[in-house]
Chain A
């Protein structure tokens, strides 16, 4: 059961190619994003559980350097999962299986640009908050 659960990582060397890496990446980022979602809903619910001031205090605590780095990594995960998901849908519904490799190059380029711009904005916001 546990072996099957992690087969998508363990079996990468058995069938190593770019699409396989995308599949493993999609699955791994999906698991991490789902876990983040549960934590995110819980953090937002602090307002319900302990009131508005507790919520504001938690949000203020989020402006920690380590958490900002994690936040940028989270953004990169969201962008990667999103772009790869779009690639899968395009491949499935528009019979673009043969164009998979070029689509991967395109989403990698778009992803790099989007994460760079988004990461810059997050770092800029962070610097403004602490100045």
Chain B
């Protein structure tokens, strides 16, 4: 089977996103469970996401974690030694699912920034 040029970069990116998630999840947990004390309401979240920096942080965290999760799940299926055609279909399917999930989460995030649904 001809190896996709994405194979090595995909693997490397899984490591890079992993390291970034260590930092991202640390901030995420520290803020929501230690500073906010686990008390979350719509008003509290909109107050935080009024800041462009927090919106930027959450968008980055969303994109990074979706890549890490989708690539991780795809990797488990890749370990099953599927037929090349099936594998290729799955690669595209997971890629598209990841992008759709990102936009779904992105729209949800913007709801807290603008205080009303954007769609």
Contact = CB atoms under 8 A, between A and B. Distances in A.
A56 B42 contact: yes
Nearest to A2: B80
Interface string B86-119: 0000000000000001001101110110010111
B72 to A, nearest CB: 5
Among B46, B65, B69, B109, max chain A CB count under 10 A is at B69
B41 interface: yes
Contact of A85 (B18, B34, B42): B18
A53 B42 contact: yes
B82 to A, nearest CB: 8
Nearest to B19: A89
Interface in A28-84: 30-31, 33-34, 37-38, 41, 44-45, 47-49, 51-53, 55-56, 59-60, 62-63, 75, 78, 82
A45 B104 contact: yes
Contacts of B46: 52
Given A45-B105, A125-B37, A128-B37, A34 B69 contact: yes
Among B34, B77, B80, B108, max chain A CB count under 10 A is at B108
Interface string B17-41: 0110110010001000110011111
B108 A59 contact: no
A4 B42 contact: no
B76 A126 contact: no
B51 to A, nearest CB: 17
B69 A33 contact: yes
Nearest to B81: A4
Interface string A2-13: 001101100000
B73 interface: yes
Contacts of A47: 42, 45, 108, 111-112, 117
Nearest to A36: B69
A113 B97 CA distance: 37
29 contacts: A1-B82, A4-B79, A5-B77, A34-B69, A34-B70, A34-B73, A37-B66, A37-B69, A41-B101, A41-B104, A41-B108, A44-B109, A45-B111, A47-B111, A48-B111, A49-B117, A51-B117, A52-B43, A59-B40, A86-B19, A89-B15, A89-B18, A92-B15, A93-B15, A121-B33, A121-B34, A122-B33, A125-B37, A125-B38
